[in-house]
A and B are shown apart, each in its own frame.
Chain A
Amino acid sequence: SQQGEEDPQALSIQEGENATMNCSYKTSINNLQWYRQNSGRGLVHLILIRSNEREKHSGRLRVTLDTSKKSSSLLITASRAADTASYFCATPMYSGGGADGLTFGKGTHLIIQP
């Protein structure tokens, strides 16, 4: 069963605006990852945040993790047309260590309007 659920399912914004998407999960985790998938392509790893971290940055990306609420958010600042994609959060499937695979939500489909 899917552990993570992204919200919203779809998001359309103007180029240059910020995009925020959220992920909620059900059980305790030791890390959470965000991936991007362009249409018809494989997944690209964006960022991993560990359970002892509250916030992490990578370029225009900012990820937060609130383990008490079992939720995470991904913020993309100053959006560009190339950011149009589906974004997935993923958490460890079983033991929490990650070596036994990930469980994914259904994703947020982000469209950046020029």
Chain B
Amino acid sequence: NAGVTQTPKFQVLKTGQSMTLQCAQDMNHNSMYWYRQDPGMGLRLIYYSASEGTTDKGEVPNGYNVSRLNKREFSLRLESAAPSQTSVYFCASGRTSGDLFGPGTRLTVL
């Protein structure tokens, strides 16, 4: 039972490049989330998926797209990376007793 896994752990991109961050959970949770955390800040919600087949925008969705591939997997795509997207990205899946977070992806956009 791995919980929430994220790949990659680290990534460096040049401005304008694209990439997809992968997230998977093995707990059969319906809801999954993507957050970003900037230095000295709390987490901000980018997108969420309340159930398989649905996705919705969170607080800071601009510049991102998501796919809920199946119940296990929820990916985040940056189509044209910008330096403002340099951040640590966390995926989470939801339980009624509190969400479980992945270890994060540290992304730098040059």
Contacts from A to B (Cβ < 8 Å): 1-2, 4, 33, 35, 41-48, 88, 90, 93, 98-107
Contacts and interface: CB of A to CB of B under 8 A. Distances in A.
Given A1-B59, A44-B101, A93-B59, A101 B48 contact: yes
Interface size bracket, B side = 20 to 34
Interface string B32-67: 010100001111110010100000101100000000
A90 B56 CA distance: 19
Contacts, number: 66
B58 A93 contact: yes
A56 to B, nearest CB: 12
Given A42-B102, A43-B101, A44-B101, A101 B33 contact: yes
A106 B31 CA distance: 24
Given A43-B92, A101-B48, A104-B42, 14 more contacts: A43-B43, A43-B90, A44-B101, A45-B98, A45-B101, A46-B98, A98-B96, A99-B50, A101-B35, A102-B43, A103-B42, A103-B45, A103-B59, A104-B43
Contacts of A46: 98
